[in-house]
Amino acid sequence: MLPFLRPELANCQPYHPNPGGDAIALDILDTNECPYDLPIALKQTLAQRYVEAIAANRYPDGSHRDLKEAIADYLGEQTQGCWKPGLEHVTVGNGSDELIRSILIATCLGGQGSVLVADPTFSMYGIVAETLGIPVVRVGRDPQTWEMDLVAAEQAITQTEGVPVRLCFVVHPNSPTANPLTEAETDWLRQVPPQILVVIDEAYFEFSGETLLAELPQHPNWLITRTFSKALRLAAHRVGYGVGDPQLIAALEAIRLPYNLPTVAQLAATLALQSRSQLLSAIPELLVERDRLYHDLQALPQLQVWPSAANFLFVKANDSLRVTDLAAQLKAQGTLVRQTAGGLRITVGSPAENQRTLSHLQIAIAQTLQPLA
Ligand SMILES: *Cc1c(COP(=O)(O)O)cnc(C)c1O
């Protein structure tokens, strides 16, 4: 280890993104993106704006004003008339990954707090916390319903030994298990004491249709995060946002780097929201496809598959099969899925991709089951 590096970095493992290079994958179903690119007319508008209206020699708008206005307008449709989000409720990040880091810095850095997560969940919370030397407290979930172990969670936030929990991340619906928050979980979040920040990651909101946004004003210790990387088809541009109490938003704005979001990314996200009815019109078909794939996978006795409120399915193999072998067999046939939490997380793709997922899985199961010669 290089002598100038912090020793704890020796244990940090990078997030393994899309395998580039050697992969010959046809179907990229490991990162839960939308299977459809931006419509060509939108791309052309974006390209034209780049040519005609963007000065490449100038820094981006560091206040993200136009984008925040578009986001506030979008959010206004989702509060059930309970309140009206404004620019002061919104912060924008270079992907919600950047927000995760800002949130950790704002709450837990320097030995001041630990972060609570319920495994299995999105791995970035733990990965980023560890790079910052922030302790991670992990509780479990029910292995059938995937509901958080709320008794353990309550114990974690009330214990008086060690570094106090200052932050709790939940995903709604969770990744990789695809379950939305239950009423019991939401009730628990409602009574988390005010000295702990609750982050509700709604990366898959556009698929689930479920949000806690309407309740936000009652909970100054809640922050909802979202992303443009999934339903809004902009993973290439790295845009995420957080919604919460103006004081919390002001703190997150103070932490972030001044020009964190390139001009083209801001423009792309603003255009995507202006065209949201077109972009989101693909979702009903994706949900039908998801349910079809769920039923088809349910019919395979070697697998267990869970219901999903998102655009992916979580699958485990019964005892006779090794998940690692299944993932390898799928990859060899050109279907990339994510192996995680002792199972496979499979993105719902286009109808043709989903058909291949099913047949490649059937072949993978048959090959994996074959007794070795
Ligand atoms: C995909 C995903 C995100 C999105 O992250 P970005 O950095 O905005 O691309 C955030 N949270 C969860 C749970 C996700 O699955």
**Closest-CA residue to 100 (of 90, 120, 115, 110):** 115
Q: Residues 41-55: pLDDT tens digits?
A: 999 999 999 999 999
The tens digit of pLDDT for each residue in 248-296 reads: 999 999 999 999 999 999 999 999 999 999 999 999 999 999 999 999 9
Where does the pLDDT of residue 138 fall: very low under 50, low under 70, confident under 90, or very high at 90 and above? very high
Residue nearest to atom 3 of ligand 1 (CA): 203
- Checking if the pLDDT of 372 tops 90, the result is no
Per the model's pLDDT, the better-predicted residue between 16 and 169 turns out to be 169
Task: Extract the tokens encoding 364.
Answer: 């993978």
The pLDDT value recorded for residue 14 is 79
Question: In whole angstroms, how far apart are CA 215 and each of 61, 169, 180, 245?
Answer: 31, 17, 16, 11
pLDDT at 22 exceeding the cut of 80: no
Judge whether residue 339 has pLDDT over 50.
yes
Asked if the model's pLDDT at residue 373 lies above 50, the reply is: no
Would you say how long the chain is, in residues?
Answer: 373
Round to whole Å and give the CA distance between 246 and 236.
29
- pTM equals 0.96
DSSP E strands: which ranges in 278-358? Answer: 303-305, 312-317, 335-336, 338-340, 343-347
pLDDT at 20: 55
Position 317 confidence tier, pLDDT thresholds 50, 70, 90: very high
- The ligand 1 atom nearest the CA atom of 227: 8
Domains annotated on the chain, with CATH: 14-36+282-368 (3.90.1150.10), 55-278 (3.40.640.10)
Of the candidates 166, 123, 122, 119, the residue with the CA atom closest to the CA atom of residue 147: 119
pLDDT, tens digit, 9 for 90 and up, residues 201-215: 999 999 999 999 999
Q: Give me the pLDDT at residue 12, please.
A: 84
Residues with CB under 6 A from ligand 1: 32, 95-97, 122, 171, 175, 201, 203, 227, 229-230, 240
Q: Whose CA is nearest to atom 10 of ligand 1?
A: 203
